[in-house]
Amino acid sequence: MNANYIGGSWTRHATSYKNINPSNVADIVGEYAHADETATTEAIAAARAAVHTWSRTNIQVRADALERIGNEIVARQDELGALLSREEGKTLKEGIGEAARAGQIFKFFAGEAVRFGGELLPSVRPGLTVEITREPVGVVGLITPWNFPIAIPAWKIAPALAYGNCVVFKPAELVPGCAWALAEIISRAKLPDGVFNLVMGRGSVVGETMVNSLEIDAISFTGSVDVGRAIAQKAVARLAKVQLEMGGKNPLIVLDDADLGVAVECAVQGAYFSTGQRCTASSRFIVTQGIHDRFVAGMIARLKTLNVDDALKPETDIGPVVDERQLQQDLDYIDVGRREGATLAYGGETLRRGTDGFYLAPALFTQTHNGMKINRDEIFGPVASVIQVKDYDEAIELANDTSFGLSAGMVTTSLRSAARFKRDAQAGMVMVNVPTAGVDYHAPFGGRKKSSYGPREQGRYALEFYTTVKTAYIAP
Ligand code: NAD
């Protein structure tokens, strides 16, 4: 584990760091290598050297490699899911689900590798045809966050390889275990040396080196807005292709005509599962006045039933916060909410459990308004607020009054309201009677405003980022 995968070999480095289980800080998940600038540059050079061969590889070879990787991940989903829960803190059920999803993504792109094609256009000039094909971009740098430690790497690595690119992959510092396990599986998939490289280490060292390297043609980043913006500025300055997936402040509107049970389940699932650490998590419940009091009572009753504990215990509903820094951020925002005059109707306190971990009771604020800081900033924890409104018009106005635009949800039994919402929501993804978090792997993923920049990820739409178009005019 104390090695990065560079140019087809496992390379050891002088520095390593301990990966700590957030459910039990006495449990060290493993010790993982830290690459420095030199090792990162070597990985980039290895990827560059492999471009010529890999970009011309027979598509069946690519499909077979991806299928092999996907099959192994699916077969080992319980083990990989347990590792994920142990290092990131989402529940075992969620961890296994995410590992299975990573496998499905590789299998989907195994199919895409042989399925994608081009276009043939008639020409406006006699005797010519116009042929439009797609070619790989070259070397892609993939920079990922900690909250989906295997699925997000999968949804970047799989399309990158499927469409013939070489990869330099930098995972988040908090979750090297899943990244290493994934790289180990990929290392046995019979890819030519240098096609896939893993460089674990710091964003300020490994990430910066990748972003500034003239040998990386395109950067796909998922993470926070500030880091994303800085990456885009550097990448654009050297005219590299860039794709960013960033934060959210996702609204869930609950209308008077909603089924209360559906509303409470969507809200609890969307805001608090995975400890609220999802870019698509609901954080603002915008509730019309006729159902407001019943919704709040239903939420409190349901929150009382949730078991916050060690992520690996089968009866746990919500695992710990990922680390001490994130826990402090959540607590600071809970203080801010109180000082802003919001009512903390449930939770928000740290919890003691059998092991020393970062446990936080899911927090629900009521009596809030959309101008409060807790309703403007992405908190990225199990913290959400209720905003009471008059009707649909006020609800949609507030839902859109945010600098983010990733996922927007509504609970209603009115087809008319659902149709209006689909049209009016300024978000990349719209959810009706389902939680704002939770997507399919074959559909495009992404948002608007500060949530995303560049082409969509996932499904066939991934083609846009991982390929470049060539237009050929051919006369016989
Ligand atoms: P982060 O921005 O701190 O880090 C993301 C990655 O960028 C990490 O690998 C980090 O090491 C790297 N990095 C940090 N500084 C860098 C630099 N100067 N140059 C290059 N790389 C650098 O984010 P995080 O805390 O890991 O993840 C949480 C954030 O991710 C939240 O804002 C969340 O909303 C967002 N997120 C978005 C999506 C989405 O698809 N929209 C999905 C998951 C998470």
**Which ligand 1 atom is at minimum distance from the Cα of 202?**
11
pTM of the model as a whole: 0.98
Would you state the structure tokens that stand for residue 363, as one six-digit string?
Answer: 């927090």
Active-site residue, 245 included? yes
Which of 158, 166, 213 is CA-nearest to residue 52? 166
Which of 284, 276, 436 is CA-nearest to residue 348? 276
Q: How far is the CA of 364 from the CAs of 98, 168, 321, 322, in angstroms? A: 26, 41, 16, 20
Quick check: 186 and 157 in contact, CB under 8 A?
yes
Cα separation, 38 vs 347, in Å, equals 47
Any residues with Cβ below 6 Å from ligand 1, and which? Answer: 143-148, 170, 172-173, 203-204, 207-208, 211, 222-224, 227, 230-231, 245-248, 279, 378, 380, 406, 451
Cα–ligand 1 centroid distance for 65 (angstroms): 28
Q: Three-class SS string for 168-198?
A: EEECCCCCHHHHHHHHHHHHCCCCCCCCEEE
Cα separation, 115 vs 108, in Å, equals 11
Mutate to test the pocket of ligand 1, among 169, 222, 321, 377 (most ligand atoms within 8 A of CB): 222
Cα separation, 291 vs 294, in Å, equals 5
Mutate to test the pocket of ligand 1, among 275, 279, 283, 448 (most ligand atoms within 8 A of CB): 279
**Which ligand 1 atom is at minimum distance from the Cα of 143?**
9
Mutate to test the pocket of ligand 1, among 88, 90, 143, 216 (most ligand atoms within 8 A of CB): 143
- Per annotation, catalytic residue among 42, 98, 279, 457: 279
CB atoms within 10 A of CB 448: 15
Cα separation, 388 vs 367, in Å, equals 7
- Per annotation, catalytic residue among 42, 112, 245, 457: 245
Would you state the structure tokens that stand for residue 142, as one six-digit string?
Answer: 């993939």
**Which helix (DSSP H) or strand (DSSP E) does residue 42 occupy?**
helix 37-55
Active-site residue, 119 included? no
Q: In what order do the strands lie in the sheet with 467-474?
A: 119-122, 129-136, 467-474
**How confident is the prediction along the chain (476 residues), in pLDDT tens digits per residue?**
689 999 999 998 778 889 999 999 999 999 999 999 999 999 999 999 999 999 999 999 999 999 999 999 999 999 999 999 999 999 999 999 999 999 999 999 999 999 999 999 999 999 999 999 999 999 999 999 999 999 999 999 999 999 999 999 999 999 999 999 999 999 999 999 999 999 999 999 999 999 999 999 999 999 999 999 999 999 999 999 999 999 999 999 999 999 999 999 999 999 999 999 999 999 999 999 999 999 999 999 999 999 999 999 999 999 999 999 999 999 999 999 999 999 999 999 999 999 999 999 999 999 999 999 999 999 999 999 999 999 999 999 999 999 999 999 999 999 999 999 999 999 999 999 999 999 999 999 999 999 999 999 999 999 999 999 999 999 98
Question: Atom 36, ligand 1: which residue's CA is nearest?
Answer: 223
Question: Atom 12, ligand 1: which residue's CA is nearest?
Answer: 203
Quick check: 240 and 74 in contact, CB under 8 A?
no
